[in-house]
């Protein structure tokens, strides 16, 4: 009797599940893979969505084998533009699988961009693991030119490609949620992926600019280039770092494990020994930022070369930190270290940390150990 009652209850409960009347089938969904945001000529917000065309591919191919549609719509602000995009899309627009959000540089530099990020973040399910990129030109054009190159699906193509670049350190990890969180938080600032679309149909001659070799002369069928970082200060873009500087930024943030580095014409591969140690000393006269990095190299390096390498790397790291100080952006994590000196949030906010950071002295200590020498 008990089992029968239980089964009857479960069956009856299932009838009340409200989700049944909203069909969630694949055919009824328009999964947005990439979302572009621009400022249109008339001052409105222009949204562009890249959506896979389901069932257009050959039998056995996934997600249409590379057939994608782009829908665009504009509106006075985020809710209106999103509503217009929903109307432009002939299916239920599903934002839960967005792989990348691309914003034009001009829009990212606008005064109220921080509020726009906060507004975007309030859109349910939008920023689930999406990456955040700033495009040097129009985001709509950038998205329109996107296609699968190596993979079979754009969604996995984007994540695989960006994971690769992040591992190499050419771009910051640029998680959109982090950009939202840090734009509104009491700590540091986010860094977004910097990208651009090469003009014309000609492929990009150089995908990346590794440090010390600005033009590697690499040929690629892609028109998009992903290199460097877009720096933000309190939610607004204030400057950029090139691919080499971004590698050093990622080294300081502990995001990369290996760093190719060139010194006096010789190339070395350095491996990190744990996360770099960031500390902040708050004195009466101002703040002092300290960074300690420990690296290992498999290359045969004599003690003299190692000291020279350390000095060169320390100098490069100081240059990157000073550049960010000049821009007023703090993407490294010194803010979190400084916040630990305060008991309460009001005390921390009253300390005028940002101004202290801009004027802070920087000390970098690099230790390089050669495995061969050991």
Partner 1 sequence: MRLSIASHPARFAALAAVAARLFLGLALDASLTCNGAWISALIGGLLAQPWAFCVCRFKPRGKALPALLALLSLLDAAGVLSAVNRSAGYLALDRSPALALFLPTGIAALWCAWRNGDAVGYGAMLWVRIAPALLLVVALLQWPYYRPAWLCPILGSGWSEILEGGVRSAGWIASASAILLLPEEQDRPMASATLIPIAAGISAILIALQLMMVPAPLSSGGWLDRLDALLCNGRAPLYLQLPMIAFWFAGLFHLVLCELFAGAALIQRVFRRLDGKICALIVVAAALMLSRLEALPAWIDAVAPWAYPAVGALTAATMLLKGGRSPCLSEA
Residue 281 is a binding residue for partner 1 (CB under 8 A): no
Residue 345 is a binding residue for partner 1 (CB under 8 A): yes
Q: Which is nearer to partner 1, 5 or 374 (CB)?
A: 5
The binder of partner 1 chosen from 1, 4, 11, 19 (CB under 8 A): 19
Q: Which is nearer to partner 1, 210 or 235 (CB)?
A: 235
Q: Which of the stretches 55-63, 199-207, 316-324, 340-348 binds partner 1 when contact is defined by CB under 8 A?
A: 340-348
Closest CA to 61 of 130, 148, 144, 145: 148
Q: Which long-range contacts (CB under 8 A, 24 or more apart) does 334-341 make?
A: 334/188, 334/278, 334/280, 334/289, 334/360, 335/186, 335/187, 335/188, 336/187, 336/188, 337/278, 337/279, 337/280, 338/280, 338/282, 338/287, 339/186, 339/187, 341/280, 341/282
Q: Where are the alpha helices (DSSP H) in 169-272?
A: 176-184, 243-253
Q: Which is nearer to partner 1, 112 or 340 (CB)?
A: 340
Q: How far is the CB of 257 from partner 1 (least distance, A)?
A: 13
Phi-psi region for residue 234, left (φ > 0), alpha (ψ -120 to 50) or beta?
left
b/e 315-339 (16+ beta carbons within 10 angstroms → b): ebbbebbebbbebbbbbbbbbebbb
CB 155 within 8 A of CB 97: yes
Could you count the other beta carbons within 10 Å of the beta carbon of residue 34? 25
Q: Which is nearer to partner 1, 52 or 244 (CB)?
A: 52
State whether residue 29 is helix, strand or coil: strand
Q: Which of the stretches 34-42, 141-149, 207-215, 330-338 binds partner 1 when contact is defined by CB under 8 A?
A: 330-338
Site track 77-116 with partner 1 (rule: CB under 8 A), x = hit:
-------------------x--------------------
Q: Which of the stretches 196-204, 216-224, 285-293, 342-350 binds partner 1 when contact is defined by CB under 8 A?
A: 342-350
Q: Which is nearer to partner 1, 124 or 217 (CB)?
A: 124
Q: How far is the CB of 140 from partner 1 (least distance, A)?
A: 24
361-370 vs 286-297, strand pairing mode: parallel
Q: Which of the stretches 72-80, 173-181, 200-208, 217-225 binds partner 1 when contact is defined by CB under 8 A?
A: 173-181
Sites of contact with partner 1 (CB under 8 A): 9, 12-13, 16-19, 21-22, 24, 96, 121-122, 124-125, 127-130, 175-178, 180-182, 184-187, 333, 336-337, 339-340, 342-348
């Amino acid at each position: 009797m008990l089992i029968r009652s239980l089964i009857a209850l479960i069956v009856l409960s299932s009838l009340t599940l409200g989700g049944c009347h909203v069909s969630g089938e694949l055919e009824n969904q328009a999964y947005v893979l990439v979302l572009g945001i621009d400022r249109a000529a008339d001052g409105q917000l222009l949204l562009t969505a890249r959506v896979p065309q389901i069932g257009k591919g050959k039998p056995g191919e996934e997600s249409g084998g590379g057939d994608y549609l782009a829908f665009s719509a504009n509106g006075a602000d985020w809710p209106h533009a999103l509503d217009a995009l929903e109307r432009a899309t002939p299916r239920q627009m599903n934002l839960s699988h967005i792989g990348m959000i691309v914003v034009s540089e001009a829009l990212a530099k606008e005064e109220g961009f921080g509020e726009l990020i906060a507004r975007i973040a309030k859109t349910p399910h939008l920023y689930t693991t999406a990456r955040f990129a700033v495009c040097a030109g129009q985001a709509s054009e950038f998205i329109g030119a996107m296609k699968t190159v190596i993979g079979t699906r754009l969604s996995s193509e984007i994540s695989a490609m960006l994971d690769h670049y992040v591992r190499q350190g050419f771009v910051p990890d640029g998680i959109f949620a982090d950009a939202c969180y840090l734009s509104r938080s009491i700590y540091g600032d986010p860094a977004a992926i910097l990208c651009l679309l090469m003009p014309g149909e000609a492929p990009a001659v150089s995908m990346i600019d590794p440090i010390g070799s600005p033009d590697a002369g690499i040929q690629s069928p892609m028109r998009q280039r992903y290199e460097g970082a877009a720096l933000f200060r309190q939610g607004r873009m204030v400057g950029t770092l090139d691919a080499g500087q971004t590698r050093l930024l990622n080294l300081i943030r502990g995001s990369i494990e290996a760093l190719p580095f060139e010194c006096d014409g010789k190339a070395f591969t350095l491996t990190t020994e744990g996360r770099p140690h960031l500390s902040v000393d708050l004195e009466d006269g101002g703040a002092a930022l300290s960074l300690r990095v420990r690296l290992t190299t498999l290359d045969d390096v004599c003690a003299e070369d190692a000291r020279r390498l350390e000095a060169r790397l320390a100098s490069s790291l100081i240059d990157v930190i000073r550049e960010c100080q000049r821009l007023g952006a703090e993407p490294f994590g010194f803010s979190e270290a400084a916040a630990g000196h305060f008991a309460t949030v009001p005390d921390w906010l009253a300390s005028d940390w940002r101004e202290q950071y801009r004027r802070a002295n920087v000390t970098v200590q690099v230790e390089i150990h050669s495995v061969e020498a050991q």
